[in-house]
Amino acid sequence: MTSKEGKILIVDDNAGIRQALKILLPMHFAEVETLPSPVTLVSTLERFRPDVVLLDMNFNTDINTGNEGLYWAGEIKQMMPEVEVVLFTAYADIALAVEGMKRGAFDFIVKPWDNEKLVDTLTAARDKARKAMGRDARKGEDQAAPMYWGSSRAMAVIQKTVEKIAPTDATVLITGENGTGKDVLAREIHARSLRSEKPMVAVDAGAITETLFESELFGHVKGAFTDAHTDHVGKFEQADGGTLFLDEIGNIPLHLQAKLLRVIQSRSVVRVGGSQAIPVNIRLICATNMDLEQLVREGRFREDLYYRINTVHIALPPLRERREDIVPLAERFIGQFAQKYHRPLTGLDESAKAVLENGYWSGNIRELQNVIEKAVILSEAKNLSANDIQIDARSGPGMTGSVTPDLIGGLLHNSAEEERLVRDAIERSNGNISAAAKMLGVSRPTLYAKMKKYNL
């Protein structure tokens, strides 16, 4: 591809910026067009058909979304998914730009910009857009990530269990905190089963309203209720021959649990408004972050349903109990997001590893993934450092509940406890002051002062 190909549309309300880019970008794009506001953006997109839109984040419009850039980026991607959007943002709006990338924007440029970086970013977006127009460049991008077993003993036991039960039709109950990967494990079981060529239908059981519960799961016939204009196939029928994954099963109201139990026992459904029993051949996997045994004792979950779904129980450990897997997982996410967001990152430095390993991770793998995604988006280095990792590390191992707001301000009144926490943080970060300061939630100067105070 030559250096002067493709079309770019610049949408910015600053006339000086539009003029500067009108001079710079024709050296790299075949056609450059500008707009002072998004008022005529839709019609311009239809007429100009750009490869790239450089979109300012804020305009003086009446859009009530909290940020015009996010709104219009969404409109562009919905209207023309193949067009790449690069967000033009002030430093104060970087967090919103990161959110924009998560919603589909290619990248962002911070004002005032560096010409070389701006051109590199815009031409990379152009190349991707033009490639997508020739063939599906996004193929496989949204495919589910494979199961990562890691090296912890707990996960090794679970892996062996999955290898044994996956080829069977045994009903599986997966429990664990939010973000531990219950849905990923369910997909892994299905992928290893004899039903892998058939569909796996996932249902967030806790998100279905009570009025639609039976219709969504069991289906309905035309005329069953006011808005039932056609027959509707429920999730059980959709999963026929394959696997039905009922997530958050602990949130199903008690009176609906009896209806679910009846279908699971009979392996047949009767659509709402119908009378015919329809056989369904499914493998059932359920998941919850709740203690079902406790709910049974409290009378909030049917005991017979609990035993019916609990043929094989797999309890996924929280990430803080498999710390040897944190860094390898983070490195996998770096590879994934560096490719997605076109960043030159290759890994983590020692300070970043120390911060990650000592985090509490209340959100588990999902939280780790989000932290790494944001760090990758914002970083321009080859390796992430402690300064790139934005987590609340105040409840790390051996420190749970110990680091108080007083320490964050550098004024913990119990000197012995403060010295222990500072010493512990330095040891856990292998002497890396940035990592230790981040772990304690204090600045580097504050930590140096504490070290001097305690002769550390």
Residues 82 and 194 in one domain: no
Asked if residue 139 is part of any domain, the answer here is: no
Residues 77 and 118 in one domain: yes
Mean pLDDT of 61-77: 72
Average model confidence (pLDDT) across the chain: 85
Looking at residue 61, what is its pLDDT? 55
pLDDT over 90 at 267, yes or no: yes
Model confidence at 406, pLDDT cuts 50, 70, 90, reads very low
pLDDT over 70 at 365, yes or no: yes
Of 28-32, 176-180, 207-211, 335-339, minimum mean pLDDT range: 207-211
Asked if residue 424 is part of any domain, the answer here is: yes
Looking at residue 65, what is its pLDDT? 47
Residues 78 and 175 in one domain: no
Of 312-321, 360-369, 387-396, 403-412, minimum mean pLDDT range: 403-412
Output 46 or 83, whichever has higher pLDDT: 83
Residues 280 and 349 in one domain: no
Of 44-48, 337-341, 348-352, 417-421, minimum mean pLDDT range: 417-421
Q: Which span out of 74-83, 163-172, 432-441 was modeled with the highest average pLDDT?
A: 163-172
Q: Pick the last residue of a domain from 315, 344, 365.
A: 315
Number of structural domains (the chain) is 3
Give SS3 for 49. coil
Asked if residue 236 is part of any domain, the answer here is: yes
pLDDT over 80 at 3, yes or no: no
pLDDT over 80 at 452, yes or no: no
Q: Pick the last residue of a domain from 254, 286, 315.
A: 315
Mean pLDDT of 129-135: 71
Residues 125 and 217 in one domain: no
pLDDT over 90 at 209, yes or no: no
Mean pLDDT of 366-382: 91
pLDDT over 50 at 326, yes or no: yes
pLDDT over 70 at 33, yes or no: yes
Q: What is the CATH number of the domain that holds 224?
A: 3.40.50.300
Alpha-carbon distance of 145 to 167, in angstroms, equals 21
pLDDT over 60 at 84, yes or no: yes
Output 299 or 407, whichever has higher pLDDT: 299
Q: What is the CATH number of the domain that holds 46?
A: 3.40.50.2300
Asked if residue 432 is part of any domain, the answer here is: yes
Output 143 or 83, whichever has higher pLDDT: 83
Residues 49 and 100 in one domain: yes
Alpha-carbon distance of 291 to 288, in angstroms, equals 8
Of 21-30, 123-132, 163-172, 322-331, minimum mean pLDDT range: 123-132
Alpha helices in 192-325 (DSSP H): 213-218, 235-238, 254-266, 292-297, 303-309
Mean pLDDT of 183-212: 92
Alpha-carbon distance of 365 to 373, in angstroms, equals 12
Model confidence at 259, pLDDT cuts 50, 70, 90, reads very high
pLDDT over 80 at 55, yes or no: yes
- Spell out the long-range contacts of 238-241 with Cβ–Cβ below 8 A and sequence spacing 24 or more: 238/199, 238/201, 239/199, 239/200, 239/201, 239/280, 239/282, 240/198, 240/280, 240/281, 240/282, 241/195, 241/198, 241/199, 241/281, 241/282
C-beta separation of 286 from 307 below 8 A = no
Looking at residue 133, what is its pLDDT? 67
Looking up tokens 């600053």 gives 14
Strand partners, 277: 270
Alpha-carbon distance of 361 to 59, in angstroms, equals 38
Of 223-232, 261-270, 361-370, 423-432, minimum mean pLDDT range: 423-432
Asked if residue 52 is part of any domain, the answer here is: yes
Angle, CA 34 vertex, CA 33 and CA 39 arms, to 5°: 125
Number of Cβ within 10 Å of residue 271's Cβ equals 24
**Which amino acid does the sequence have at 409?**
G
Asked if residue 448 is part of any domain, the answer here is: yes
Residues 284 and 194 in one domain: yes
pLDDT over 50 at 400, yes or no: no
Residues 389 and 371 in one domain: yes
Looking at residue 445, what is its pLDDT? 67
Residue-range definition of the domain harbouring residue 45: 7-134
Of 86-95, 122-131, 155-164, minimum mean pLDDT range: 86-95
Nearest to 34 by CA among 62, 58, 7: 7
Alpha-carbon distance of 395 to 297, in angstroms, equals 32
- 274 phi and psi angles, rounded to 5 deg: -105, 180
Residues 220 and 200 in one domain: yes
Alpha-carbon distance of 119 to 248, in angstroms, equals 47
Mean pLDDT of 445-454: 76
Counting residues of the chain whose pLDDT is more than 70, the rounded percentage is 87
Residues 58 and 170 in one domain: no
Q: Pick the last residue of a domain from 261, 287, 315.
A: 315
Looking at residue 299, what is its pLDDT? 95
Residues 368 and 446 in one domain: yes
Asked if residue 1 is part of any domain, the answer here is: no
Looking at residue 395, what is its pLDDT? 43
Looking at residue 417, what is its pLDDT? 64
Mean pLDDT of 299-313: 96
Alpha-carbon distance of 376 to 383, in angstroms, equals 9
C-beta separation of 358 from 440 below 8 A = no
Asked if residue 390 is part of any domain, the answer here is: yes
Q: What is the CATH number of the domain that holds 414?
A: 1.10.8.60
Nearest to 149 by CA among 183, 176, 112, 188: 188
Residues 292 and 309 in one domain: yes
